[in-house]
Chain A
Amino acid sequence: MSRRVRLVVFLVGAGAVAALFAVAFLAMPPFGRTQHLYRDLAVPAAVQHVTANVVSSVNFDQRGVDTFGEETILIASVAGAAALLRPAKEETERRPPDTGRTLEATRLVGYLMLPVTLIIGVDVVLHGHLTPGGGFQGGVVLATGLHLLYVAGSYPALDRLRPLEVFNILDGLGAAAFAAIGIAGLAFAGSFLTNIMGFGSFGQLLSAGTVPVLNVAVGLEVYAGIVAILAKFLRQDITVVSHGDAQEDSE
Chain B
Amino acid sequence: MTVLVALSLTLVAIAGGAVVLTENPERQAVTYSLLGLALGVLFLVLQAPDVALSQVAVGAAVMPMMILLAVRTMRKDQRQRRDEEDS
Interface set of A (CB-CB < 8 Å, partner B): 53, 55-56, 85, 124, 132-134, 136-137, 140-141, 143-144, 147, 226, 229-230, 233-234, 236-237, 242, 244-245
Asked whether, in the complex, the Cβ of A144 is within 8 Å of the Cβ of B57, the reply is yes
Asked whether, in the complex, the Cβ of A237 is within 8 Å of the Cβ of B72, the reply is yes
Query: B7 at the A/B interface (Cβ < 8 Å)?
Result: no
Name the B residues within 8 Å of A124 (CB-CB): 53
Known pairs A132-B49, A134-B50, A140-B57; A245 contacts B66 (CB<8 A): no
Asked whether, in the complex, the Cβ of B73 is within 8 Å of the Cβ of A236, the reply is yes
Instruction: Determine which of A55, A233, A237 lies in contact with B50 in the assembled complex, contact meaning CB atoms within 8 Å.
Output: A55
Name the B residues within 8 Å of A140 (CB-CB): 54, 57-58, 61-62
Query: B76 at the A/B interface (Cβ < 8 Å)?
Result: yes
* Closest CB in chain B relative to A110 CB, distance in Å: 14
Instruction: Determine which of B62, B73, B84 lies in contact with A144 in the assembled complex, contact meaning CB atoms within 8 Å.
Output: B62
Cα A56 to Cα B53 in complex, Å, equals 13
Cα A244 to Cα B85 in complex, Å, equals 13
Asked whether, in the complex, the Cβ of B69 is within 8 Å of the Cβ of A234, the reply is yes
Asked whether, in the complex, the Cβ of A137 is within 8 Å of the Cβ of B80, the reply is no
Asked whether, in the complex, the Cβ of B53 is within 8 Å of the Cβ of A237, the reply is no
- Between A and B, how many residue pairs show CB distances below 8 Å? 53
Fill in one digit per residue for B48-60: 1 if any A CB lies within 8 Å of its CB, else 0: 1110111001100
**Interface size on B (CB < 8 Å)?**
21
Name the B residues within 8 Å of A245 (CB-CB): 80, 83
Instruction: Determine which of A85, A226, A234, A242 lies in contact with B62 in the assembled complex, contact meaning CB atoms within 8 Å.
Output: A226
Asked whether, in the complex, the Cβ of A132 is within 8 Å of the Cβ of B50, the reply is yes
Query: B70 at the A/B interface (Cβ < 8 Å)?
Result: yes
Closest to A245 in B: B80
Asked whether, in the complex, the Cβ of B62 is within 8 Å of the Cβ of A143, the reply is yes
* 4 extra A-B contacts, CB within 8 A, seeds A132-B50, A134-B50, A233-B73: A230-B62, A237-B72, A237-B73, A245-B83
Name the A residues within 8 Å of B76 (CB-CB): 236-237
Asked whether, in the complex, the Cβ of A137 is within 8 Å of the Cβ of B69, the reply is no
